[in-house]
Structure formats: C-alpha cells, structure tokens
Amino acid sequence: MTVYNFNPGPSALPSEVLERAKDSMFNYQNTGLSVLEMSHRSPLYEDVHFQAIADVRSLLAVPENYHILFLQGGASLQFAMLPMNFLSPGKKAGYILSGSWSEKAYQEASRIGAAIVLASDKDNNYRSIPAVDENHFADDLAYIHITSNNTIFGTQWDALPTRKSIPVCVDASSDIFSKPIEWDNVDLLYAGAQKNAGPSGVTIVIIRNEFLQTANKTVPKYLAYDTHVKADSLYNTPPTGSIYLLGLTMKWIKENGGVKGMEAAAKKKAGLLYDAIDASGSFYQGHADKASRSCMNVTFTLQNSELEKQFLQEAKARGFIGVNGHRSVGGCRASIYNAVPLSHVEALRSFMIEFQKAHA
Ligand code: PMP
C-alpha cells in the first residue's frame, strides 16, 4: 500500500534524499566510512558542513552580513536563546501571538525578562494573522517576535511586516524554504529542520551581524550566538548526520526549482485542498480565515466529531498518515511541506471528495 505522509514534523523527506542517504550511510564517497562515523574535525565532514551552509545561503539569498548557524535544541531552545541574547534589562521584547508556538516563545521570554504582547488572535481561536501597525510599537523594544507559519492552526503571514527601527525575529520552523525571504525585514530567523529542511536534530539560525553585535555579553558561552558564529557552528560536536541530510535536502530543493519552485508547488498543493474544502458546501470547514490560510498546514474540521472520527479512521486505513489535528486542538490537518509530492495531495483530495459523496 502506498503511504501518503502528511505528518506535521518530523515529516516527509524527498525520496531522492533518502535514496542518496542510503548509500552514504555505509560507504561515503568510497571511504569505507559511514557519513555517521566521520570525525567532525575531518576534512571530509568539513566539506559536508560548509557546503550545506553555502547551499542555505544561496537558496535563501542570504546577504553576506548575515551569519548562518546550525545549532541543536530545536526551535524550542531558540525561544530561550533569543531573549537571553537580546532582551537586556530595561528593555521589553514584543511578541505577536498567532498560535501555540508563538505563545510558547512569549512565555519563555517572560521567564527571562520583560516580554509584552503586541497583538494576539487568541480570542479568535487563532483563525487569522493579527493585524499589526508598526507605528504603534514603542521605541524601547529590544525586538519583535513573529511566527511566520502557525503549524497547529494552519495560518501563515503572507508577507512579513515592514521592518522599521526595531529588530524583527522570525520563527520560520514550518515554512522556511517554501518562499523567498525579504531580508530587509528580518534580523534573526530560526527554524528546526524537521519540516522543510531535513530531519530533526539541527536548527538553522540566520542572524544579521549588526544585530549580533548588540547581544548581551553575560550569556553562558554555549547559549551565546556569538560563540557559534566564531566557531562556524563547530564549537562542539554538531549533529553531523542531520546536517548531512539537510545538505542533501538543499541539493534536492536546488534541483527542483529552488525556493521559487517550492513556492509554486506549495501554492498549487494548498490550492487543491482548499478548493476541495470550499467546494464541499460546509461538509469540510477550513479553520483559518481565507486571507490567512497556510500553504504548509491545511486545517479543517467536519460537521461533527463522529464523522470526523470516521474520516480519520478511513484516511488512515487508506494510507494517509498524520492527517489528525494537533492533540491540543483536534480536527484534521494535512501538512504539505516541500517534500510531499503533488500526487499525494491529489490522492488526499480525491479521498476527501469520495468520502463526502459517501457521507453527505
Ligand atoms: N515553532 C514552530 C512554528 C513549530 O512548528 C515547532 C514544532 N512543531 C516548534 C516551534 C518547536 O520546534 P522544536 O520541536 O524543534 O523545538
């Protein structure tokens, strides 16, 4: 049976990446070594490491004055590292709440210093991206934090707000590499790799040098961004296997039209599912308001919980994996990251239409 992987993360990897990885797991470039067995200080690994960084830079058109880091601890550690490095005493950090992950980022910052909520869509059950007016932000903010795609609720910023004088930091865990990034509007961006960039275990952090220079100097060494910048993300043993797979994923993105190619594919795939939802006459109901819909996580409910249970059971039996909503909100969610083939989304769409015919 074909397995259609709609997991929210860790999620589908391109089959070409897994095929290539299979060979290098045993005999990397005829060295007789697995890629997992090499010293992180060896020239062989250094090639993997620096090529992956170079590929991230070229794919996302990251300007030269930004550093690219490969860290550990997931996006969750970034929730803490960001305020530890940049939320100085006497300053406030401004958070825009657009879902559970931005709430977590805000809560973590509150443990470290003065964090404030600039805008929130919580009362609307996070159906839309909150409206923000940068002119109302106080000047003494250390930074503004945004979650570019809300994995659980299925909403996404169409465009990031225009950066004025306050640094903007973005959690792009669930939409990195799915569209170009306007670097003029970003000072720091972070993303766990396990959705669009590779397997879990490595977190990408991209930071503007001028912003880095303003970091607190009292942060424990391992948690200071500067430590990893100075050491080229080789301060201690990096997650070599994850970085190797991330590098293969970067190559796959390049071969498939780059980030622009990913963007076009994402729009097409999302369009197929949203069209099925909109044409269903409320049999399926999208969670997100139309203007805030995510191209990465399509969230929807059915008319009642019994029908929803049946839908999810049948979907599972047909090989559709991970279509249940996050445990905190329920409902259904199809995560259609870069590596999910168009044909798999078409299959899910057909199943949705078929299920509706049988149950309407
Ligand atoms: N931010 C977002 C937007 C996420 O989707 C997730 C994970 N699903 C996280 C943060 C947390 O990531 P991690 O598990 O890498 O800490």
Tell me the pLDDT tens digit for each residue of 132-166.
877 667 778 999 999 999 999 999 999 998 888 89
- pLDDT for 140: 82
Rounded CA separation 224/86 (Å)? 10
Atom of ligand 1 nearest to the CA of 203: 15
Ligand 1 touching residue 173 (CB < 6 A):
yes
Note the pLDDT tens digit of each residue in 158-188. Answer: 999 888 889 999 999 999 999 999 999 999 9
- pLDDT for 327: 82
**Ligand 1 centre distance from Cα of residue 150 (Å):** 9
Ligand 1 touching residue 9 (CB < 6 A):
yes
- Where is the binding site, in residues? 41, 75-76, 101, 151, 171, 194, 236-237
**Ligand 1 centre distance from Cα of residue 137 (Å):** 26
Ligand 1 touching residue 302 (CB < 6 A):
no
Rounded CA separation 19/23 (Å)? 7
Contacts of 112 (CB under 8 A, 6+ apart): 80, 83, 84, 87
Rounded CA separation 39/1 (Å)? 40
- pLDDT for 164: 85
Of 7, 11, 76, 202, the one to substitute when testing ligand 1's pocket (max ligand atoms within 8 A of C-beta) is 76
- pLDDT for 133: 77
**Range(s) of the chain covered by CATH 3.40.640.10:** 15-255
Note the CATH number of domain 258-359: 3.90.1150.10
- pLDDT for 131: 87
E strand spans, 30-91: 66-71
Contacts of 55 (CB under 8 A, 6+ apart): 247, 250, 251, 254
Ligand 1 touching residue 199 (CB < 6 A):
no
Predicted ipTM of the assembly: 0.99
Rounded CA separation 55/250 (Å)? 6
- pLDDT for 136: 65
- pLDDT for 157: 97
**Ligand 1 centre distance from Cα of residue 360 (Å):** 36
Ligand 1 touching residue 76 (CB < 6 A):
yes
**Range(s) of the chain covered by CATH 3.90.1150.10:** 258-359
Ligand 1 touching residue 335 (CB < 6 A):
no
Atom of ligand 1 nearest to the CA of 74: 15
List the structure tokens of 272: 């197929």
Residues labelled as active-site residues: 101, 171, 195
Instruction: State the Rg of the chain over Cα.
Output: 21
**Ligand 1 centre distance from Cα of residue 123 (Å):** 22
Which parts of the chain have pLDDT scores under 50?
none
E strand spans, 238-289: 284-286
Ligand 1 touching residue 147 (CB < 6 A):
yes
The architecture of the domain spanning 15-255 is 3-Layer(aba) Sandwich (3.40)
**Ligand 1 centre distance from Cα of residue 280 (Å):** 31
- In this structure, what DSSP letter does residue 139 have? T
